[in-house]
Amino acid sequence: MSGFIDGEGCFNISITKHPKVKVGYNVQLKMHVTQHINSVNVLYAMKEFFGCGSMVVHNKLADRMRYQITAIAEIQNVLIPFLEEHPLLTSKFLNYLDFKKPVDLVSNKKHLTLEGIEQLRILAKSMNTGRTFDQKLSRK
């Protein structure tokens, strides 16, 4: 399962303006895997394996489905322990390490401060396509 996440998964921190939230921003953490509708059985198997998450139609490509875990409790209690036990082997491991950092921020309600939002923005910008590869891939 970790190999599939390594190859097809994505870790995401989303920060959007939301006027009804205390600091004016909503934060969502997400791990997702997208597949063509012909391979949707793999995504349902992932959902069954983890026992959490949800299935959604990809918002831009109707012939794609997405398995995603967005609930902070599921990320903290299911996904992270699994990936600690079965680590990612590619550079996606670096994105996972950055993805783990905001879990504590959100759990401790620091995302409800402007300082916390700024910390999350910095992390989000450095992940995925914004990643620089001068950081060594180390599992120590």
Ordered structural domains, the chain, with CATH? 2-130 (3.10.28.10)
pLDDT band at 130 (very low <50, low <70, confident <90, very high): low
Pair 33, 53: CB distance under 8 Å: no
Q: Using CA atoms, how far apart are residues 91 and 110, in angstroms rounded to an integer?
A: 28
pLDDT value of residue 39: 92
Q: Tell me the pLDDT tens digit for each residue of 82-129.
A: 999 999 998 889 889 989 988 888 887 778 777 888 888 888 887 766
Mean residue pLDDT across the chain: 86
pLDDT value of residue 62: 78
Angle at CA 128, nearest 5°, toward 49 and 92? 50
Cα–Cα distance list, 44 to 5, 56, 68, 92, 119 (Å): 14, 11, 11, 22, 34
pLDDT value of residue 5: 94
Q: Which amino acid is at 64?
A: R
